[in-house]
Structure 1
Amino acid sequence: MTTTSHGPDAPFALARFRQRDSPRLGLVARDRIRPLTPEDLGAASLNDFLADAAWDRLAALAEQDGEWMPLAGVTLTAPVEPRQVLQTGANYRQHVIELVAAGLTNSTDRTIDEAREAAARMMDDRAAHGEPYFFIGLPACVVGDDVPLVLPGYSEVHDWELELAVVIGREAFRVSREEALDHVAGYTIVNDITTRDLVFRKDMKEIGTDWYRAKNAPGFLPTGPFLVPPPFVDGSNLNVRLELNGEVMQDASTSDLLFDIPALVSGASQTMPLLPGDMLLTGSPAGNGQHWKRFLRDGDVMTGTIEGLGTQVVRCVAETG
């Protein structure tokens, strides 16, 4: 069982907790949580609430007496119920520069400094004139950190990628960058687990990437534990930090995003409407297992923290049977 002793830094946030094995929506304020009814929300469901995101209603509840319980006494699960999950690739500038520079030094006679300068120019041109790179994930993979991460036995190269996730509020379809933040209901944490040896097809390399098999095993999107309202989050400058068994593996800032949150929401909305409660992952910084040549093993514990959004603790277990 996973418990969280204190909430995020925000005055209040949403969470879902297990009550008789069924998830129930709750309001978190400091180290307390209280269950929320449809009457409290003013909406029939979480996603219906997010469509309007009447956070002022919950701000008032956070100051009132009620059925408050210690946060440490409940088991939290994923705070969202998305119908769609969109993921962003190659979106941290410094991370991508290092990857491109490594490729250039292997394929040309450039020095590493020359390769980095060339890669930086490429990334700046991409940010100015290019478009974000999106692919889709399965909502069924979204779980809380109360669920152990089962490492499928068909591979030994399962990897971590801690990411800031945008949660959509009002439906967004072909919105501009200037309008995009009006469609954001909040933010949460996601660890986008990836099986590295399945990313590229071996039977027909011309097909390219196989994100379905590489990223969509059960539990491969540990999410939460909190959904924090936008007024309390500066998504343009948040520290993203992942520790593996206490050792820091990823430590970066969202200020390094090639495409910022308005660009991502706008870009993703051009193809398909983004619905209330949907998640848009913003990409992961340098420091994954592929970089360290160290992949997830039975017994590993990943502690992922994003500034202002709290901390998730994911425990890994080997697949049995």
Structure 2
Amino acid sequence: MTPEPVSALFAGPFALGTLSAPDGSPFPALVTSDEQVIDLQVALDSTGLTMRDLLGRWADTLPRLRGLAADASVERRPLTAFTVHAPVEPRQVFQSGANYRQHVIDLHLAHRAPGDERPEEERRAEAAEIMDRRAADDLPYVFIGLPSAITGPYDDVVLPAWAEKPDWELELAAVIGRPAHRVSVEEALEYVAGYTIANDLTDRATVFRRDLPQIGTDWLRSKNAPGFTPLGPWIVPAESIADPAESLTGPGDLRLLLKLNGETMQDESTKDMIFNVARMVSYASQSAQLLPGDLLLTGSPAGNGMHWGRLLRDGDVMDGSITGLGAQRTRCVAEAVAS
């Protein structure tokens, strides 16, 4: 049974989501701040319209969405009548690693290499030095995730039987609104339509390939099980999130909060990010072309399960929220294994 959705509160007059009525097909929706829904296939007279279609013509769509949100004559229905899905089906998912200073230091301590008997203080200082060097050298770290790992913000998450150490990682995700290739940091945010919430689950036991140390990490195995990326509930337009002082960098002080069974695990600000959203978008675009609807996950702050010595198990409920973006609630369910 899927946990009950939490409050839809978000910044600004409206957000976007992908919803469905009972026995109906998913459709892109405008959700107002008073939790009313406008079916955008109907309001824009476009049968078969998807969220990715909207994002593909974002510059033209955004003014129309503002108008719909302000027009009281447009038909609306209560949000409670619908099921909320992941807000977009991206073609590509770009993920930022090691982008929160304290989180990386904690992981460095938790993932002690075999035979490393140095005291914690020495290893913590080493990790801090590495982070300082990365920031000075301006070297973000981006890898690729799979769209098939995405699930809805209130869906159950199946923990694979092979996952020995499944962990949570709440993240701010930027949603791309224009094709972006080799864009500068200064212009990067012009390509971001909005922001949403992602929980980038990771099996810590399979992150590192000890049999292939020269290759290192195995992101396919550790991060891409079906449902390992709860997404949403909403895409909140960038104009509703960004402070004018952050016009060239992206959101600089949003609170990320994850609770496990009601107990706070992650509680940090995006101020702890080493590389801001603009830098990450620009960096990813130097190698790849980012497409409308694509996601760029910006890394996770301190407070993961490896830090607490408490990993995910059957029946756990995760509540994740980010300032202005709403909240998601997902329950963990152990994979049924045939006897």
Question: Does the alignment reach a TM-score above 0.5?
Answer: yes
Q: Does 1:87 align with 2:95?
A: yes
Contact 1:4 1:71 in 2 (8 A): no
Match of 2:69 among 53, 58, 62: 62
Segments of structure 2 that go 5 or more residues without pairing to the other structure are 243-250
Show the counterpart of 1:26.
Answer: 29
Deviation at 1:200, TM superposition (A): 1.2
Deviation sequence 1:234-286 (CA, Å, 0-9, x none): 32110001000000000001111101001100000011100000000000011
One-letter amino acid of the structure 1 residue matched with residue 70 of structure 2: E
Deviation at 1:115, TM superposition (A): 6.2
Deviation at 1:182, TM superposition (A): 0.4
Deviation sequence 1:267-316 (CA, Å, 0-9, x none): 00011100000000000011111111111111110000000000000111
Deviation at 1:118, TM superposition (A): 5.8
One-letter amino acid of the structure 1 residue matched with residue 31 of structure 2: V
Q: Percent identity?
A: 52
For 1:133-152, list aligned pairs within 5 A: 133-152=141-160
For 1:137-286, list aligned pairs within 5 A: 137-234=145-242, 235-286=251-302
TM-score, length basis structure 2: 0.87
Match of 1:131 among 136, 139, 148: 139
One-letter amino acid of the structure 2 residue matched with residue 22 of structure 1: S
- Quote the Cα distance in structure 2 between the aligned partners of 1:6 and 1:207: 42
Deviation at 1:155, TM superposition (A): 2.5
> Quick one: structure 1 residues 99 and 219, their matched pair in 2 at CA, closer, same or farther if it must change by over 3 Å?
closer
> Quick one: structure 1 residues 69 and 110, their matched pair in 2 at CA, closer, same or farther if it must change by over 3 Å?
same
Show the counterpart of 2:326.
Answer: 310
Deviation sequence 1:121-174 (CA, Å, 0-9, x none): 442331132311111110111110232101111133111000000000111000
Contact 1:41 1:58 in 2 (8 A): no
Match of 1:49 among 44, 47, 54: 54
One-letter amino acid of the structure 1 residue matched with residue 29 of structure 2: G
Bigger mean CA offset, 151-160 vs 92-101: 92-101
- Quote the Cα distance in structure 1 between the aligned partners of 2:216 and 2:108: 18
Q: Does 1:76 align with 2:84?
A: yes
Q: How many residues end up aligned between the 2 structures?
A: 319
- Quote the Cα distance in structure 2 between the aligned partners of 1:99 and 1:141: 23
Q: What is the DSSP-based 3-state SS (H/G/I as helix, E as strand, rest coil) of the residue aligned with 1:61?
A: helix
One-letter amino acid of the structure 2 residue matched with residue 9 of structure 1: A
Contact 2:11 2:241 in 1 (8 A): no
Segments of structure 1 that go 5 or more residues without pairing to the other structure are none
Contact 2:109 2:120 in 1 (8 A): no
> How large is the Cα RMSD of the aligned pairs?
2.4
Q: What is the DSSP-based 3-state SS (H/G/I as helix, E as strand, rest coil) of the residue aligned with 2:44?
A: helix
- Quote the Cα distance in structure 1 between the aligned partners of 2:120 and 2:261: 36
One-letter amino acid of the structure 1 residue matched with residue 139 of structure 2: E
Bigger mean CA offset, 56-65 vs 40-49: 40-49
Deviation sequence 1:37-67 (CA, Å, 0-9, x none): 1762889542232133232211110122233
Runs of 4 or more above 4 Å deviation: 41-44, 98-104, 106-111, 114-119
Bigger mean CA offset, 121-130 vs 258-267: 121-130
